[in-house]
Amino acid sequence: MSILIALSMAPWALGDELYLKAGNKFEGTVIKWGEEQISFVLRGTTLNEAFNIPVETISKVILNDSTEHVPGEGRWISDGEMSQEDLAKAGLVKQKPSGAVLPIKQTGECNSFKNERKAGGNDILIEGSIQKVSGYTEYHIKFAEAYYTWQSVLAFPVDGYKVNVKASLIKHPFKSPDKYVGFELLYAKNITDPETTMVDSDYVTYEAYGYSEKWVWSATQSTADLNASELCANLRVGRTLYNDISGSILLGYRYLNFTYDIYGVKGWQQPVYEGQIYTFDTLQSTNVLDYRVSYHLPFLGLCLRLGLSENSWLDGKLTRYIRSRANDEDDHILRYFKVTTSSKGSGWGAELGGRIILLKLGSGKKIFAGAGYEFSKISTTGIQTQRYYADDPDTPENEIGLTFTGIDNEINLSQQALTLFLGMNY
């Protein structure tokens, strides 16, 4: 049967489905076939708004009679087009009152989806994942006194497992179906406590007349209970760059919160330079310190997707965190004082992952799975304030209300994660 006969016998419903290698799906009618390109009219548009689509960008076409046509395979139709009468029957051109077909207005070539009609078409993705996270959030204070610089570093582990839920909406509101806008929302929560300990190191550096020496006078570690959560939202604008390669730019906001209960103190101290070293392991069931830090991270990003096949992709993302802020509060419960800092800085991140379609369901639904790796590094600086809310029992003085400020502080985050995910594309 020739293509002309096949087209003339087809039911006149705009029910053809076009699938691009970039992952986009569109509904409408194929009005012309060829070896190098096809002409396609989107649902709700007319012939004068048709797209000429290169065959090399097409994954497959499913006609309204449920036949599937894949470029390069035997069922692909190499030549043919619908007659003007059939176009009119399909409602793709206007008719005179007498029933005669009006002349078709020629607008020239419509190469690669160039027209003035919104492309339409939405994708909704729901995804769940589990992550294995590692890394630290830390603060590093220092203050100078004559030839001495006193420093303290407290590092809190972020390692453990967390679960993520992510929802995405992809729309095609532009003139070209190969352009899109996406919105993504993610929530994450840890489900295990860190296996790594919290560490606290105190040291002094002496510098004078070209001479420098460092004295570590305390190093301890403690058990950490962690309550961590994350909320992230982003808006992206993207397009197909070449065949099965697409790219997008991101604008988003990421919020991270870590709340710790710290138990026990194990380590050593050397209160006098080159003096005796004291070791201890005590208070293992006692809450000795509470710490909370939150990161507020506006970001810009670049994404790239490479289609490996019709059912698999490789994704990469680079993120630049701009105008980042970190706020923390450390309650030294045993000594009755709190320290607080509000800091500013920046950071960066990178992600690499892949996904594959496991199962195709009815109505275009797809179940997919994948894995990925991500890394984030944030650096901020600010001024710390220390205030005693009660008398320190370890000193003879009365410190109630005593306040110190102007202490330089750095709040930093370094974390990485391995991810396994499963989701559905509607």
In degrees, to the nearest 5, what angle opens at C-alpha 408 toward C-alphas 403 and 414?
120
Residues 45-84 as b or e (16 or more Cβ within 10 Å = b)? bbbbbbbbbbbebbbbbbbbeeeebebeeeebbeebbbeb
Q: Which CATH class is domain 122-425?
A: mainly beta
DSSP H or E stretch at residue 87: helix 84-89
Task: Please tell me whether residue 226 adopts helix, strand or coil conformation.
Answer: strand
d(CA 113, CA 92): 17
d(CA 276, CA 297): 45
Q: Which pLDDT score is estimated for 50?
A: 78
- C-alpha distances in Å from residue 42, one per residue of 3, 69, 159: 20, 18, 49
Q: Which pLDDT score is estimated for 362?
A: 75
- C-alpha distances in Å from residue 366, one per residue of 33, 34, 36, 129, 320: 28, 29, 29, 17, 32
162: left (phi over 0), alpha (psi -120 to 50) or beta: beta
d(CA 406, CA 282): 32
Q: Which pLDDT score is estimated for 3?
A: 38
Which sequence spans correspond to the domains of the chain? 3-89, 122-425
Q: Which pLDDT score is estimated for 99?
A: 44
DSSP symbol at 181? E
Q: Which pLDDT score is estimated for 96?
A: 47
d(CA 418, CA 403): 43
Look-up of token digits 């965190």: 321
Q: Which long-range contacts (CB under 8 A, 24 or more apart) does 146-151 make?
A: 147/206, 147/207, 147/208, 148/204, 148/205, 148/206, 149/204, 149/205, 149/207, 150/202, 150/204, 151/202, 151/203, 151/204, 151/205
Look-up of token digits 């001479």: 211
In degrees, to the nearest 5, what angle opens at C-alpha 298 toward C-alphas 341 and 234?
145
8 A C-beta contact, residue 354 and residue 313: yes
Q: Which residues contact 274 (CB under 8 A, 6 or more apart)?
A: none
CB atoms inside a 10 Å sphere around CB 9 = 10
The residues facing 317 across adjacent strands are 303, 351
d(CA 162, CA 131): 5
List the chain pLDDT tens, one digit each, 426 residues.
Answer: 333 333 433 433 457 888 887 777 788 888 888 888 888 888 777 776 777 888 888 888 888 888 888 888 877 877 778 877 777 777 776 544 444 443 433 333 333 333 333 344 578 999 999 999 999 999 999 998 888 999 999 999 999 999 999 999 999 887 777 889 999 999 999 999 999 999 999 999 989 888 888 899 999 999 999 999 999 999 999 998 888 899 999 999 999 999 999 999 999 999 888 899 999 999 999 999 999 999 999 999 999 999 998 899 999 999 999 999 999 999 999 999 999 999 999 999 999 999 999 998 877 789 999 999 999 999 999 999 999 999 989 888 898 999 999 999 999 999 999 999 999 998
Q: Which pLDDT score is estimated for 26?
A: 83
- CA nearest to 172, candidates 238, 90, 218, 248: 238
